[in-house]
């Protein structure tokens, strides 16, 4: 078969039905203006290029495809770029400094939220002296709606960067602030959230808003920031998916659906009361649409990152598929002429796709078949130590093998083998992808500093 015929056969074999609606919809619209009515920033925490590739294959294989030909929802967006993620003091970043770059349009140090690199680490007074201007703060001054949706604690680094200012990302509750710094008057991130005039805030982290009487860790045993917020704003505080659905429109809503992070998708039980990321995204967009004003919404698939830190690729990929489902809902339920959608990651992970597995090989499975003389089409490849090995692995983390390496586990909840033994797998320092559509998306091309993402958000909403 000659090359042109072979290419035609492969092209005809690629199933496009899953993404065709969004592609046609975007292709049929005229070039967008530079000013947006709405901006949605989707952050797949830890979703580097290798995670996107593996999740693309995993999602396709869940639908019965070979997987490689699949496209995740956000991969249909017309504009793409690569984003440099380093913090001002670190080659490999954390989520606080990176999320600050995307919300303030300025890079800062590792571990800092909404404060500049001029602040002294752990010093409350210098934090108050060096705040950075956040997109959400400017959006509220301009009369826009602001929303935060996450599967982590809502005071965790990425969601906190939407509304918060802190020289330590771990100051989520007042009990987390060192005793020596408390007299300086720094406010913890939970208290900062309830003081911020948000319209929608949905996620986990209930324990940071309550004292011990409510199952939390605040210094005052009777503390109940959620109730205080509801009384002050007239908003609805909810703890279940059913209560969220019943909460009246036209008033703010605070949803805290777990004491800490929401459950992994893999671990969700049939009787769970927690909403999914896609359900929370849908609820937020429905509320914003009913109001009619423009909005800035940040949506984080936060537990992609946690699955990787645990060295469990199956957890990370299932979270990435749910993240793509949330993006799909936004693409299909917003007007591309007035809504800028940005999809990116805060950083990558030391996550690899390796060996020479045959086309369609189970992405969580053993390397089977392949080229370079690495096995037969129907038998797993064997490494130099006489053992099989998986396609997915990590450069470091809790899956490191001590002594002779045994056969790897390939179950959905397996911990993949890694090289360097560490209690938690680390972030990676390579660039991450950025996908975009809508007004202002023309700026998304080439290789960008991560702070440009925040600048694009502000310019699109006319906040710069």
Tell me, yes or no, whether 374 lies in a domain: no
Task: Assess whether pLDDT exceeds 50 at residue 252.
Answer: yes
pLDDT at site 6: 40
416-460, pLDDT tens digit by residue? 999 999 999 999 999 999 999 999 999 999 999 999 999 999 999
Secondary structure element (H or E) that encloses residue 39, with its range: strand 38-44
Identify whether 25 is part of a domain: no
Is residue 43 within 8 Å of residue 457, measured between CB atoms?
no
**In a domain? residue 456:** yes
For residue range 132-149, list pLDDT tens digits in order: 999 999 999 999 999 999
Burial of 24 (0-12, 13-18, 19+ CB in 10 A): exposed
pLDDT band for 76, please (50, 70, 90 cuts): very high
pLDDT digits (tens, 9 = 90+) for 333-345: 999 999 999 999 9
Q: Measured between alpha carbons, how far is 269 from 162 in angstroms, rounded to an integer?
A: 30
Percent of the chain at pLDDT > 90 equals 89
Burial class (CB in 10 A: 0-12, 13-18, 19+), 239: middle
The domain tally of the chain equals 1
User: In angstroms, rounded to a whole number, what is the distance separating the alpha carbons of residues 186 and 124?
Assistant: 6
SS3 295: strand
pTM for the model stands at: 0.92
User: Is residue 84 one of the residues assigned to a domain?
Assistant: yes
| Residues paired with residue 352 on neighbouring β-strands, in sequence order | 393
User: Does residue 308 sit within a domain?
Assistant: yes
Dist CA 7 CA 23 (whole Å) = 22
pLDDT digits (tens, 9 = 90+) for 155-194: 999 999 999 999 999 999 999 999 999 998 899 999 999 9
Residue 457, exposed/middle/buried by CB under 10 A (0-12, 13-18, 19+)?
buried
Residue 75 maps to a domain: yes
Q: How far is CA 179 from CA 183, 191, 243, in A?
A: 8, 17, 37
Could you tell me whether strands 339-344 and 432-437 are parallel, antiparallel, or unpaired per DSSP bridges? antiparallel
Q: Which residues contact 169 (CB under 8 A, 6 or more apart)?
A: 94, 95, 96, 111, 112, 113, 156, 157, 160
Please indicate whether residue 26 or residue 62 has the higher confidence score (pLDDT): 62
CATH number where 342 lies: 3.40.720.10
pLDDT at 148: 98
Query: What's the pLDDT band for 371 if we cut at 50, 70, 90?
Result: low
| Res 374: pLDDT | 52
Instruction: Decide if 386 is inside a domain.
Output: no
- Mean pLDDT value across residues 79-104: 98
**What is the domain range of residue 244?**
33-350+426-460
Catalytic residues: 95
Does any domain span residue 359? no
């Amino acid at each position: 078969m000659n090359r042109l015929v072979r290419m035609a056969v492969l092209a005809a074999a690629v199933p496009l039905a899953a993404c065709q609606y969004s592609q046609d919809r975007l292709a049929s619209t005229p070039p967008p203006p530079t000013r947006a009515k709405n901006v949605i920033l989707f952050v797949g925490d830890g979703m580097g290029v290798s995670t996107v590739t593996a999740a693309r294959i995993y999602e396709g294989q869940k639908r019965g495809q070979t997987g490689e030909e699949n496209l995740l929802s956000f991969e249909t967006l017309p504009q793409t770029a690569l984003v440099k993620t380093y913090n001002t003091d670190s080659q490999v970043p954390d989520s606080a400094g990176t999320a600050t770059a995307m919300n303030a349009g300025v890079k800062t140090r590792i571990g800092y939220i909404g404060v500049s690199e001029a602040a002294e680490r752990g010093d409350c007074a210098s934090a108050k002296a060096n705040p950075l201007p956040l997109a959400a703060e400017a959006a509220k001054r301009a009369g826009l709606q602001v929303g935060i949706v996450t599967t982590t604690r809502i005071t965790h680094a990425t969601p906190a960067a939407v509304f918060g200012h802190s020289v330590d990302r771990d100051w989520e509750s007042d009990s987390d602030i060192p005793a020596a710094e408390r007299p300086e008057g720094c406010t913890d991130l939970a208290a900062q959230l309830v003081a911020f005039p948000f319209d929608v805030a949905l996620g986990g982290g209930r324990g940071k808003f309550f004292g011990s009487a409510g199952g939390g860790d605040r210094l005052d045993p009777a503390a109940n920031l959620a109730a205080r917020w509801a009384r002050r704003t007239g908003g609805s505080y909810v703890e279940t998916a059913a209560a969220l659905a019943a909460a009246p429109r036209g008033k703010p809503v605070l949803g805290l659906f777990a004491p800490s992070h929401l459950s992994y998708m893999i671990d969700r039980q049939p009787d769970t009361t927690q909403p999914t990321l896609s359900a929370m995204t849908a609820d937020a967009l429905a509320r914003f649409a009913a109001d009619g004003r423009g909005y800035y919404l940040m949506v984080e698939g936060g537990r992609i990152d946690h699955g990787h830190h645990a060295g469990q690729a199956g957890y990370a990929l299932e979270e990435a598929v749910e993240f793509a489902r949330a993006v799909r809902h936004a693409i299909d339920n917003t007007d591309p002429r007035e809504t800028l959608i940005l999809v990116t990651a805060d950083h990558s992970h030391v996550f690899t796709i390796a060996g020479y597995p045959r086309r369609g090989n189970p992405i969580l499975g053993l390397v089977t078949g392949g080229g370079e003389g690495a096995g037969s089409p129907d038998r797993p490849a064997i490494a130099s130590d006489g053992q099989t090995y998986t396609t997915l692995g990590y450069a470091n983390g809790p899956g490191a093998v001590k002594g002779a390496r045994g056969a790897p586990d390939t179950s959905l909840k397996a911990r993949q083998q890694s090289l360097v033994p560490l209690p938690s797998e680390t972030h990676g320092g390579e660039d991450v992808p950025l996908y975009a559509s809508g007004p202002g998306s023309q700026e998304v091309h080439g290789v960008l500093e991560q702070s440009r993402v925040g600048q694009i958000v502000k310019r699109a909403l006319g906040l710069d």
